Structure 1
Amino acid sequence: MPGSGQCGMNINCCEASGPRGLFNFPAYVVMKSKEGLFVNYYVQGRYQLTTPSGKPVTVKQQTTYPEGGTIKLILSLNKDEDFVLSLRIPAWSKKNAVTVNGAPVEGIKAGAYAAVSRKWKNGDMVEITLDMRGRVAYAGDQPKYAAISRGPILLARDESLPGISMGAFVDVKGNDGYIDLIPVAHDVKDNWMQFRFKFAPESYTEAGGAPVTIDLCDYASAGNGPKAGSFISWLPQITDPRKVNQ
């Protein structure tokens, strides 16, 4: 919906602040310091900076992130130079891999920068693989709710997607806090990303209900179908009495 006008213009500060943030964002994707370069965000593109000695350097990112979890960085330099390339590893990414020209980098930690110090040469390639497993976060007690994320993206249950009608879930997270998400081909005009997962539904039989599947989409796409509908990201949970005190 259009915002109300301010200062005699048909625009207000809220409408201006969103584009302002997007315009500034490219400047923070890759940044330089006295020690080298910091790769803060993973976004397809070419980023031109200077090395600590003031020489031009280009960092080319090849990635579909956050749809995929693999990022390739290719460095272009006129002359070899020693400096530190620091790669941001998100806190949610628990299983990670970083290689330089195919050789693994050790000591990668979630929620920290992976600092790779070496003499960089023209054409050096860094490959980063992040943890894109579906993971579950909880809120509340009675009732309890679960939200599912993949990478940095929160997922949502849109009622227009395939699967049973919304109800309570049992053991959505499995045993380790992660769930298997299967990518689903979909109409890109409506949803950016769509995934399918299996869970135990609410049931009042002694044996419990058989597992069923439903589809989730990225939260930004929820409600984008041709017909207005409801969607949720915090899924209601119920207690499985067979697992109490286990």
Structure 2
Amino acid sequence: MNKITYKTYYNTRLKEVYFHGKLTHPLYVMVTFERQTIYFKSYYFGLFSQPRFFLDVPGAGSKGPDIELAIKKENEVIAFIIEKHKDDFSLETFKAAYAYYSVDLCELSERGFRDYLYTFFWDDGSPYLGDLVKHGAGHIIAYNLVRDFKRNFQKERYDKLVRNAFDYAPPYLPLYGFMSEKKRWPELCLTMMEWQSIEITLAFKDYLDKVYPDVDGLELVKEVNALPYSKWA
């Protein structure tokens, strides 16, 4: 295979943007193969710049992830793709693989889960709570909202919310719950690259058996596998 080179860099041709309160040029990626080069914005720069990764605790201060985390994740996924496609590498193959393997399954499924919560609360007689979840709480991780719902809702209502989620929402709750047991802030993501590991999928199945024993774990694993091609993507 011909030599492949890549690097991350700050695109100084573009205006500076805020990354959790700090001005910086956007992070980009350059990949070169057979004298052809492609340039594109870092997926992880966009991911970790989201408000939900910013910690702001009353009395304890605030902080956000460092851009070095985005660079680390870029290097990991690019090296993974190059190794996986060492016998059939092309820039077109790389672009398709990057779009697939870099995606954070928690972010991908959270959008559909928020839509589910919006509909659930409207149907359940709390339309303004639904509006708040959909339109006014984008900086709050949906999983953390549900944890507060558990503390403040009657058990019957909370159980209904969780039970219906498995029928009408993407598998966000088990994905984020599993991920949060394995990782710590600020790397609160579960990429499709990581999901490809048999150790991860087996650990996820064990997590389901423990936390959601009434759920068909094998079917849910299949649902996660199909997430990038689903209506939630």
* TM-score when normalising by structure 2: 0.22
Greater strand proportion: 1
Of structures 1 and 2, the larger Rg is shown by 1
Which structure exhibits the higher relative contact order, with contacts defined as CA atoms closer than 8 Å and separated by 6 or more residues? 2
* TM-score when normalising by structure 1: 0.21
